[in-house]
């Protein structure tokens, strides 16, 4: 009975060793390297908008993005964020609503 209990007590150790052996035996090393790069080039349409602000003309380019099938949003000249609502300061800087309160460029 005592012998049996000792044997049972040794089982977790043995199991651990067996598992390590199997791990060593069947482990494979995989090296992954990039083999090809794909450059996707799509035509885009640039649309020139002329905006008149207090009789002054301001040209704004909008890009039609064929991937999203929409016009790319403009970029605030003050903070660089994408904008869908545009504002202009007295010097006609293109701004977002936050920058329009105090133009960072003027």
Binding site for Zn ion (CB under 5 A): 76, 78-79, 89, 91, 93, 96, 99, 103, 105-106
Nearest to 64 by CA among 45, 77, 88: 45
Nearest to 96 by CA among 79, 62, 58: 79
Q: How far is the CB of 54 from Zn ion (least distance, A)?
A: 14
Closest to Zn ion by CB, 74 vs 93, is 93
Q: Transcribe 21-58 into DSSP letters.
A: HHHHHH------------------EEEEEEEEETTEEE
Dihedral angle sign, alpha carbons of residues 103, 100, 81, 85: negative
Q: How far is the CB of 87 from Zn ion (least distance, A)?
A: 9
Measured CA to CA, the distance from residue 58 to residue 50 in angstroms comes to 6
Q: How far is the CB of 53 from Zn ion (least distance, A)?
A: 12
Q: How far is the CB of 58 from Zn ion (least distance, A)?
A: 12
Closest to Zn ion by CB, 44 vs 105, is 105
Closest to Zn ion by CB, 64 vs 87, is 87
Closest to Zn ion by CB, 45 vs 82, is 82
């Amino acid at each position: 009975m005592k012998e049996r209990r000792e044997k049972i007590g040794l089982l977790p150790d043995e199991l651990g060793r067996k598992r390590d052996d199997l791990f060593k035996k069947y482990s494979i090393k995989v090296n992954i390297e990039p083999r090809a790069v794909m450059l996707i080039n799509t035509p885009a349409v640039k649309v020139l908008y002329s905006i008149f602000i207090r009789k002054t003309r301001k040209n704004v380019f909008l890009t039609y993005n064929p991937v999203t099938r929409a016009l790319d949003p403009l970029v605030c000249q003050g903070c660089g964020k994408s904008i869908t609502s545009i504002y202009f300061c007295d010097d006609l800087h293109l701004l977002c609503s936050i920058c329009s309160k105090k133009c960072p460029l003027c």
